[in-house]
Amino acid sequence: MVPRSRAFSGWINFLLFVLLEGLSLYLIVAFNDSQHRIYRHSVGFFSEMVNSRIETFKGYFALEEENAALMEENARLRTALIQLGAMKENDASGPVLSSRSGGRLKLVGARIINQTISRRNNFLTLDKGRQTGIRENQGVIGDRGIVGITRSVGPDFTVVMSIFHSQTKISARIRDKGYFGSLRWNQSGDVRYMTLEDIPRHVPIRVGDWVESSGYSTLFPGGMSLGRVAEVRLPPGSGTYELKVKLFQDMTKIGHAWVVTTFKRPGTDSLTMQRDSL
Amino acid sequence: MNTVLLSQGFRLLLIGVLQVVIFDRLRLGPLGPYYPDIVVYPLVLLWLPFRTPRPLQYLLAFGLGLGLDITQLTPGLHAGAALTMMGFRPLVLRFLEPRAGYEALHSPTLRRFTIAWYAPYLLVLMLLYFLVYYSLEVFTPLYLGAILGKTMLSWSISALFLFLVTMIYNPLD
Residues of B in contact with A27 (CB under 8 A): 66, 69, 75-76, 79
pLDDT band at A218 (very low <50, low <70, confident <90, very high): confident
> Predicted ipTM?
0.86
Chain B residues in contact with A10 (beta carbon < 8 A): 54
Give the fold, CATH level 3, of B2-168: Arp2/3 complex 21 kDa subunit ARPC3 (1.10.1760)
* A34 lies within 8 A of chain B by CB: yes
Query: How many Å lie between the alpha carbon of A108 and the closest alpha carbon of chain B?
Result: 55
Q: Are A263 and A221 in contact (CB under 8 A)?
A: yes
What pLDDT is recorded for position A261? Answer: 84
Q: Is B67 on the interface with A (CB under 8 A)?
A: no
User: What pLDDT digit, counting tens, does each position of A127-169 carry?
Assistant: 888 988 898 889 998 888 899 999 889 888 899 999 988 888 8
Given a cut of 60, whether residue A274 has pLDDT beyond it is no
* Cα-based distances in Å from B25 to A36, B2, B10, B68, B101: 26, 34, 22, 13, 40
Angle among Cα A34, A35, A38 to the nearest 5 degrees reads: 90
A168-190 confidence digits (pLDDT tens): 888 998 988 888 899 988 766 68
CB contact under 8 A, B55 and A16: yes
* Of the candidate ranges A38-52, A124-138, A154-168, B60-74, the one whose mean pLDDT is the lowest: A38-52
Q: Does any CB of chain B come closer than 8 Å to the CB of residue A21?
A: yes
Which residues in chain A are closer than 8 Å to B80, comparing Cβ atoms? 21, 24-25, 28
Arithmetic mean of pLDDT over chain A: 80
Contact A181, A173 (CB under 8 A): yes
B87 and A7 within 8 Å at the Cβ level: the answer is: yes
Taking an 8 Å cut-off on Cβ atoms, the answer to whether A21 and B84 are in contact is yes
Residue A99 confidence class, pLDDT cut points 50, 70, 90: very low
Q: Is A108 helix (H, G, I), strand (E, B) or coil?
A: strand
pTM value is 0.51
Q: Read off the pLDDT band of A121 (50, 70, 90).
A: confident
Other CB atoms within 10 A of residue A77 CB: 11
Residues 6+ apart with CB under 8 A from A180: A171, A172, A173, A174, A198, A199, A214, A216
Chain A residue whose CA is closest to B78: A24
| pLDDT for residue A98 | 31
What pLDDT score was predicted for residue A271? 56
Residue A267: predicted pLDDT: 55
Residues of B in contact with A34 (CB under 8 A): 139
> Residue B65: pLDDT band by 50, 70, 90 thresholds?
very high
Residues of B in contact with A7 (CB under 8 A): 87-88, 90-91, 94
Where is mean pLDDT largest: A122-131, B37-46, B68-77?
A: B37-46
Mean pLDDT of all residues in B101-126: 92
DSSP run (H or E) holding A192: none
Task: Please state the separation of Cα A141 from the chain's center in Å.
Answer: 9
CA distance A202 to A191: 29
Q: Which of A1, A2, A20 to mutate to test the interface with B (most CBs of B within 10 A)?
A: A20
Chain A nearest C-alpha distance from B125 (Å): 13
Chain B's closest residue to A32, CA to CA, is: B74
The pLDDT tens digits for A3-24 are 454 555 578 888 999 999 999 9
pLDDT band at B169 (very low <50, low <70, confident <90, very high): very high
Determine contact: B117 vs chain A, CB below 8 A: no
| Mean pLDDT of all residues in A234-246 | 89
Q: Which residues contact B120 (CB under 8 A, 6 or more apart)?
A: B96
- Spatial distance between the Cα atoms of A147 and A197, rounded to a whole number of angstroms: 19
Residues in chain A within 8 Å Cβ distance of B97? 5
